[in-house]
């Protein structure tokens, strides 16, 4: 079984993201992802809904005044509009598609952050994505930024950011300003694909998860972790030769990885199975 190849529009988006990505918005990234995985997807209704929400938000969000008050007004509006984190079904693939998030008013941190950022931009508040470990965030562009957790609709201070980091990386993790570096549109798309891959794999939809890996590798050619995942997915699909090739390449690229021992054992188990199909 083979993954479906990336579409031409997705390849064009990937090429733009490999350059300076000028003019590429988070909405462009999210809609490009949805178009790739949903047959007959039409971005028009999603863009219209973002515009409609922005029109409703503008009277509520001051055009001038302290940025903190303006951001708080935006958060209040989006809360009243019904946007909230999907605690009950976090890995549902629909949480990664912007059209579904807009329709259902629920999603995961990164997809909700895109909704927040797009409506904020339309109300005159610039927000940047932050690929924070374990939990995507937003920030304002200042040197000492306001930090927003769209999943919970809340502003985070430095102590809250540090606590969030420790929950993800362990009690010894140290929070610093570098953790809030703005994410590029390419990084956002890679992270969205990673979330979608996890959602599909959790449901045993191996071929769909493999489609996600193929698109990540288009954006990040030769990424060792993705070659590992592709090999493991090919193994699930009983494509043992392809699985062996990817896992061997992972070991060549990342021989000191903490997972290397387990992957070497898997490679040895795969060798006779791959040879038997020739």
pLDDT of amino acid 1: 67
* R_g (Cα) of the chain, nearest Å: 20
Other Cβ atoms closer than 10 A to 265: 10
DSSP state of 180: G
DSSP state of 129: E
Give the C-alpha separation, 63 to 249, whole Å.
54
The domain made up of 8-180 has a fold known as C8orf32 fold (3.10.620)
Q: Are 89 and 95 in contact (CB under 8 A)?
A: yes
pLDDT of amino acid 278: 55
pLDDT of amino acid 31: 96
Give the C-alpha separation, 26 to 158, whole Å.
25
Q: Are 266 and 235 in contact (CB under 8 A)?
A: yes
Residue range(s) occupied by CATH 3.10.620 in the chain: 8-180
Q: Are 160 and 171 in contact (CB under 8 A)?
A: no
pLDDT of amino acid 277: 66
List 129's β-bridge partners, or say none: 138
Global pTM exceeds 0.85: yes
pLDDT in tens, 175-192: 999 999 999 999 999 999
Q: Which residues of the chain have pLDDT under 70?
A: 1, 277-278
pLDDT of amino acid 276: 80
């Amino acid at each position: 079984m083979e993954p479906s190849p990336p579409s031409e529009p997705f390849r064009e988006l990937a090429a733009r993201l490999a350059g300076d990505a000028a003019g590429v918005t988070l909405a462009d990234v999210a809609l490009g992802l949805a178009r790739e995985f949903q047959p007959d997807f039409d971005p028009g209704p999603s863009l219209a809904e973002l515009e409609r929400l922005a029109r409703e938000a503008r009277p509520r969000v001051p055009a001038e005044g302290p940025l903190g008050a303006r951001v708080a007004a935006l958060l209040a509006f989006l809360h009243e509009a019904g946007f909230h984190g999907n605690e009950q079904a976090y890995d549902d693939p629909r949480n990664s598609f912007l059209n579904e998030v807009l329709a259902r008013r629920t999603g995961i941190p990164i997809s909700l952050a895109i909704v927040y950022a797009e409506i904020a931009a339309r109300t005159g508040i610039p927000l940047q994505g932050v690929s924070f470990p374990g939990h995507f965030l937003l920030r304002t562009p200042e040197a000492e930024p306001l930090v927003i957790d769209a999943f919970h609709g809340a502003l985070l201070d430095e102590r809250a950011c540090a606590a969030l980091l420790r929950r993800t990386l362990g009690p010894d993790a140290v929070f610093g300003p570098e953790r809030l570096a703005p994410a590029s549109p390419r990084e956002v798309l890679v992270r969205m694909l990673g979330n979608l891959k996890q959602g599909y794999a959790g449901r045993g939809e191996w071929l769909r998860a493999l489609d996600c890996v193929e698109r990540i590798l288009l954006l990040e050619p030769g990424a060792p972790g993705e070659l590992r995942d592709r090999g493991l997915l090919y193994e699930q699909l009983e494509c043992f030769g392809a699985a062996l090739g990817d896992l061997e390449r992972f070991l060549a690229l990342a021989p000191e990885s903490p997972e290397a021992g387990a992957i070497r054992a898997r490679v040895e188990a795969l060798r006779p199975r791959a040879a038997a199909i020739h």
